[in-house]
Amino acid sequence: MDTDNTASRTACTTAGTTVGTTVGNRRPRPGAASVDRYRRLLLQLAASAQALVLLPLRAAGRTARAANSVAQGDSGAAAVSGDGRHDFDFLHGQWQIRNERLTQRLAGSSDWEIFGATQWCQPMLGGVGNVDDFVSDWARPGSDERFIGMTLRLFSPESRQWSIYWAGNHDGHLEPPMVGRFDHGVGTFHGHGEHEGRPVQVRFVWNQVSANTAHWQQAFSADQGQTWETNWHMWFRRTDGDGRLLHDDGVIELRQYAMQPGRRDDLIELFEREFIEPQEAVGMHVIGQFRDLDHDDRFVWMRGFADMPVRAEALSGFYCGPTWARHRQDANATIVDSDDVLLLRPARPELALPHSGERPPVGADHAAGGLLEAGICHLDDAAEAGFVERFVQTMAPRLRAAGAEMVGVYITESAPNTYPRLPVREGEPVLVWFARFADVQAHHRYESALLADGLWNTAVAQALLDGLRQPPQRLRLAPTPRSELRT
């Protein structure tokens, strides 16, 4: 199944099989009624005042001005817009943050503390700077006051680098700047600091950047950069005005687990108590989880990612994280096999699964109701070769006529598996449809209607002659109490 993974984030060697971390319930960012707009304004004014002092300075270690100046004329605007001044635009707006912080630094510790925070970031100085307001649930040892911080980021058009200044409410002082830039979507920044009286080199890395996700991590080096210890992760998830996470499911996994006899409900209870919010905190979207009505020992669930690079970072963050280490043995003990995984993407943008309603809270035990059908078509060639159009034109209308509420059509994501520690069924072209039904009886009526539908039978027979390797496999899936995807 899997081998032991270390608790260190920098030495994770295996992912395990299923999911499982624990963190407090998702905390929405305060709404408009509770946001201290006056305090935010003061922070912005303070940051602007600091900027007036800091702009003339040049941080140590900045590179010299490029030998060749940017050509003027028609290409000038494009050159300026691509010089790096917009690299932090992704951070503007409001975020929910999961913090994982090493309790002891440069001491070989593997003890991580987890706490939540919210952040609001806004541009300033015409776009060459920004300031954020970081409000955490954490209190420094010996203090009852929540830790609050702010970051001032300033871009130098001359060096094309950013300087990042941090201040906290524990001392009210701006720390020395971290200086660097983004390259191929990854921002790397270096500076100098002090830890317990000794000088250290400090490194920030920004990655996993998408419309609704980002990842920041801090590392220290006490040996002039020969070795680094990562001691703080911040996993950013964008939220709407009501504090709800925003999702972008460009890629999804359809995961089918063979369970130990009689252990399915044990995993469901653990999953719904400990596994949902922590996955979403590091960049995933837990779309839904289900009991297979035709196999008592099969658990099916789906999760989404913005894209394949975000998927790699999010899975690494989860399976190499401290809370997966806490629950992995209990989860794995319930599972026989977890390798039946299809990696999928929407067949067309308009055929993606709709955004679901609010997920029931932790501890919900009422039946979710309804039923989801997952229809899996195994194909000879990639669905783009023509099967998508055939399905949309000839098969989907028959499913609807029989009573199915079609909610999504997906095809194989052919990109290489970006997280090979978790296997997927690569090289298997499929088309998968998802349809909702009010209850099991509604699905029975639908099945009877399909059997009697000559046009459906003809469409399937023709597909079997050209493109379809076998009759469609249909899974009857009952949502668990906290499944987001439901009727």
Q: What is the pLDDT of residues 253-297, one digit of tens each?
A: 999 999 999 999 999 999 999 999 999 999 999 999 999 999 999
* pLDDT at 375 (0 to 100): 98
Residue 133: pLDDT over 60: yes
H or E segment to which residue 267 belongs:
helix 264-270
Q: What pLDDT score was predicted for residue 57?
A: 32
- Return the percent helix, strand and coil in the chain, to nearest 5: 25, 35, 40
Q: Helix (H, G, I), strand (E, B), or coil: what is residue 401?
A: helix
Q: How many CA atoms lie within 13 A of 197 on its CB side?
A: 0
The predicted model gives 461-478 an average pLDDT of: 96
Q: pLDDT-derived band of residue 154, with 50, 70 and 90 as boundaries?
A: very high
Task: Report, as an integer, the average pLDDT of 300-309.
Answer: 98
Q: What is the mean pLDDT of residues 127-131?
A: 95
Nearest Cα to Cα of residue 202 among 231, 181, 174: 231
Distance CA 178, CA 161 (A): 10
Q: How far is CA 25 from CA 272, 274, 360, in A?
A: 11, 9, 12
Token pair of 184, please?
A: 């191929």
Angle at the Cα of 92 from the Cα atoms of 97 and 250, rounded to 5 degrees: 70
pLDDT tops 80 at residue 79: no
pTM of the model: 0.84
**Which H or E run includes 40?**
helix 37-54
478: left (phi over 0), alpha (psi -120 to 50) or beta: beta
Q: Among 46-50, 257-261, 372-376, which stretch is predicted with the lowest mean pLDDT?
A: 46-50
Q: In this predicted structure, what is the pLDDT of residue 170?
A: 85
Phi, psi for 404 (deg, rounded to 5): -80, 140
Given the structure tokens 């000794």, which residue do they identify? Answer: 198
Give the pLDDT of residue 385: 84
| Half-sphere exposure at residue 175, Cβ-oriented, CA atoms within 13 angstroms | 20
Average pLDDT, the chain: 86
Sorting pLDDT into bands at 50, 70 and 90, what band is 369?
Answer: confident
Query: 335 near 259, Cβ under 8 Å?
Result: yes
Average pLDDT over residues 215-231: 97
CA–CA distance, 324 with 252 (Å, rounded to integer): 21
Q: What is the pLDDT of residue 363?
A: 85
pLDDT value of residue 368: 65
Q: What is the rounded distance in angstroms from the CA atom of residue 147 to the CA atom of residue 330?
A: 34
pLDDT at 487: 73
pLDDT at residue 7 tops 50 = no
What average pLDDT does this structure show over 142-155? Answer: 94
Q: Assess whether pLDDT exceeds 90 at residue 49.
A: no
More confident position, 19 or 71: 19
Residue 74 pLDDT > 50, yes or no? no
Tell me what pLDDT residue 244 has: 94
What whole-number distance in Å separates Cα of residue 253 and Cα of residue 251?
Answer: 7
Give phi and psi for 334, each to the nearest 5: -95, -10
Contact 229, 285 (CB under 8 A): no
What band does 354 get if pLDDT is binned at 50, 70 and 90?
Answer: very high
Tokens, residue 226 = 């020969």
Type of residue found at 486: R
Q: Which pLDDT does position 367 carry in this prediction?
A: 64
Please state, as a whole number, how many other Cβ atoms lie within 10 Å of the Cβ of residue 289.
27
Q: Is a pLDDT exceeding 80 seen at residue 140?
A: yes
Is the pLDDT score of 5 beyond 50? no
Q: By percentage, how much of the chain surpasses pLDDT 90?
A: 76
pLDDT at 26 (0 to 100)? 34
Between 77 and 213, the higher pLDDT residue: 213
